[in-house]
Amino acid sequence: MIGSGFIAKVHSNAIRQVGHFFDLPYELYLKVICGRNRQKLEAAASRWGWEEVEADWRAVVARKDIDVVDIAVPNALHAPIAIAAAEAGKIVMCEKPLAASLADAERMTEKISGLPNLVWFNYRRLPAIALAKQLIEEGRIGEPYHFRAIYLNQSGNDPSKSSTWRYQRGEAGSGAAGDLLSHVIDLAFYLNGPIRELSAMTHTFARGRDVDDAAVLLARYVNGSIGTFEASRYGVGCQNRITFEINGSKGMLRFNLDSMNELEYYDASEAPSLRASRALMVTGPNHPYWETFWKPGHAIGYEHPFIATLGDFFLAMAEGKPFHDNFEDALAVQRVLHAVEQSGVSGHWVHVDQRG
């Protein structure tokens, strides 16, 4: 584990919990946690059961007794660590966004080729979102017309935050774009496929910040549908609000992370007088992961999609099956972020690189 902040805690929990809910053919050992603040590191190690602490990530990557490296540090460090880990033949798990720049993301993806790898786009494995995917694949939404998504928090409205790494271009690469927009772009890929071209606006409200506080865009998808996206750290009133809606010829899906165990589904084929949005409580029966965690009617929380990500990753690895999101998936997201930045500067529509 490289990192000891909030997201390292979430990953540690997933590592601890995955064996309680998934039948894995692997035994996981928590060898070493690596970070800069020794006191904080030892507290984390003792709490989560990491055997050792270490200050230098290069030392960790060099160890022979380590099979998996999990990267939970500021974005700009993803590339050097992932590349070194890939060169050492490790399995690599990396927090999103993949990198602080497209160039980094491309190099990382090239290097990791052939090794099992994972990017922590956790929301794909929210049962409600996995069910959305399933309903779409069953054809229940029909021909897609619109996919719109919004991710708002209000972290930027606090000017004292400018000094943390998330508000520094050098460490983060971007602001709301990498932090928030990347999540909903990944959901768009998952649920509606690739974006062909886009027109974006990026905006910084706070003086002196060199990253975007908000990133918004219009998109044309490869499948013929259109979309709008909005990500902002100035979404006052919203602590951590992701919403999306898909309108298709046969139905509609709507999601709001504030009610993360729910999915709204509208079936346009029903009798007109009974046609309405229904609020599916996606805790079973027959929903994604419903037998993995608790019982129908019993909500799961923020950390469960991380556990499911890890469980699915190890099961796929054991069965030699592909796993998503991997570095290539995250690279595709990074290409969209890159196009957003370009369009934000130029004011033109930009084609998104569709390789891979």
Nearer to a copy of itself, 90 or 304 (CB): 304
- Measured on CA atoms in the order 135, 141, 144, 149, is the torsion positive or negative? negative
Residue 89 CB neighbours (<10 A): 10
**Closest approach of a copy of itself to the CB of residue 328, in Å:** 28
Nearer to a copy of itself, 113 or 277 (CB): 277
203 is a site residue for a copy of itself (CB under 8 A): yes
Of the ranges 8-16, 26-34, 171-179, 322-330, which one interacts with a copy of itself (CB under 8 A)? 8-16
Per-position DSSP letters for 313-352, written without gaps between them: HHHHHHHT---SS-HHHHHHHHHHHHHHHHHHHH-S-EEP
Is the backbone of residue 353 left (phi > 0), alpha (psi -120 to 50) or beta?
beta
Of the ranges 82-90, 176-184, 242-250, 314-322, which one interacts with a copy of itself (CB under 8 A)? 242-250
- Give the contacts of 270 (CB within 8 A, at least 6 positions apart): none
**Closest approach of a copy of itself to the CB of residue 356, in Å:** 26
217 is a site residue for a copy of itself (CB under 8 A): yes
**CA 158 vs CA 6, 94, 150: distances in Å:** 19, 28, 20
124 is a site residue for a copy of itself (CB under 8 A): no
Nearer to a copy of itself, 106 or 212 (CB): 212
Of the ranges 28-36, 62-70, 230-238, 313-321, which one interacts with a copy of itself (CB under 8 A)? 230-238
In contact, 77 and 71? CB cutoff 8 Å: yes
Burial of 6 (0-12, 13-18, 19+ CB in 10 A): exposed
**CA 309 vs CA 93, 293, 324: distances in Å:** 11, 13, 9
State which of positions 31-90 bind a copy of itself (CB under 8 A). 47-48
Nearer to a copy of itself, 102 or 150 (CB): 150
Binding test (CB under 8 A) with a copy of itself, winner from 247, 309, 326, 334 = 247
Nearer to a copy of itself, 36 or 278 (CB): 278
Nearer to a copy of itself, 114 or 285 (CB): 285
State which of positions 273-302 bind a copy of itself (CB under 8 A). 273-274, 276-281, 283-287, 293-302
**Closest approach of a copy of itself to the CB of residue 13, in Å:** 7
248 is a site residue for a copy of itself (CB under 8 A): yes
Nearer to a copy of itself, 37 or 239 (CB): 239
Residue 14 CB neighbours (<10 A): 22
Nearer to a copy of itself, 35 or 227 (CB): 227
**In 3-state terms, what secondary structure has residue 6?**
helix
- Give the contacts of 210 (CB within 8 A, at least 6 positions apart): 168, 169, 204
Cα distance from N-terminal residue to C-terminal residue, the chain: 29
Hunting for tokens 């050097």 — which residue is that?
80
152 is a site residue for a copy of itself (CB under 8 A): yes
Q: Site mask, a copy of itself, residues 299-338, x = CB under 8 A? A: xxxxxx----------------------------------
